[in-house]
Amino acid sequence: MNDKLVKLNVHQFEICGAQTEYCVDTTIRMAHGLGYKLFMKKGLTTTLNNDLLGAKTIIAHHENIWDGRFLTFFDGC
């Protein structure tokens, strides 16, 4: 997939998705590691409560980790 993105001259992505602590987190970390610039509007991921934490806490925790390290949050549409 990365070869195709290189050919298309893609350098940045806007992220959103489901299962914050799995699919979204892995995608963000992998894309960041490959050198892509990432953007997200806060609140555009979702997950489920688990035995230890509620979904809102999981999302807030991951957004805090990502912010300024792995991606840039933006306001607006």
Q: Assign residue 8 the CATH number of its domain.
A: 3.40.50.850
Chain centre distance of CA 12: 12
Looking at residue 25, its pLDDT comes to 98
Residues with Cβ < 8 Å from 17, sequence gap 6 or more? 23, 24, 27, 44, 45, 46
- Print the domain residue range for 67: 2-73
Looking at residue 1, its pLDDT comes to 65
Looking at residue 2, its pLDDT comes to 77
Task: Indicate the helix (H) or strand (E) that contains 76.
Answer: none
- Report residues of the chain scoring pLDDT below 50: none
In the chain, the number of structural domains is: 1
Q: Virtual CA dihedral for 54, 57, 58, 62, nearest 10 degrees?
A: 180
Q: Please work out, in degrees rounded to the nearest 5, the angle formed at the alpha carbon of residue 24 by the alpha carbons of 19 and 25.
A: 110
